[in-house]
Structure 1
Amino acid sequence: MSSNGEANLNQEELIDDLRNVLAETESMLKEVASDGTEQGRALRAKIAANLSVAKDKLVETERLVAGKAKVAAKVTDEYVHENPWTSVGVAAGVGFLLGLLVSRR
């Protein structure tokens, strides 16, 4: 498996984990909304822990996405420097097609 495929898989796993943590947190929050007992305080502590985990996962996901964006920018920059006229031609073609689409409306 390529490193890009592994990064996509890791990113998807992180997003799924984050969704699960947030869903569990919402459920617990509904349970303890009006509970002032010892159990309620324990649940609030668990909610705080879950939110901390969610924040950590979010930071990790952000780091992965930023890393992938940097790699993509670097590869694009290298390609443009190695093939300037091809890049100009592609950009002109895309601009022309977008112009046609916009002018039809």
Structure 2
Amino acid sequence: MNTDMDKGAQVLKLLGDRTRLTMMKILESQDCCVCEFTAIFNLSQPAVSQHIRKLKDARLVTETRRGQWVFYSLNKDTEDYPLVRDILNHFPGQAGRLKELEQQGLRIFCD
């Protein structure tokens, strides 16, 4: 029982950060690479990588290499996914953030 509470507390702590919560909401609808997150959040690559590393260490996101790029996606196979899904359901979609970048000519394509 304590282990479940500890895991739940860890997930809540990770998603208690606005940037990580927003990243997870974006990943709910599409895979992204670090370069896209740097543009969306106007953060440095090391800062974005730090956020991603925390989510990856907790197995909330997975990575896939496509050529020279690494794309991140929501890990729907983890035992924590039902909790993550329930939390994300309480927040508005973020798919428009990449669309905004595209419209401003700031979208970075990693393909």
Larger Rg: 1
TM-score if structure 1 supplies the norm length? 0.34
Q: Which has the higher strand share?
A: 2
Q: Which has the higher helix share?
A: 1
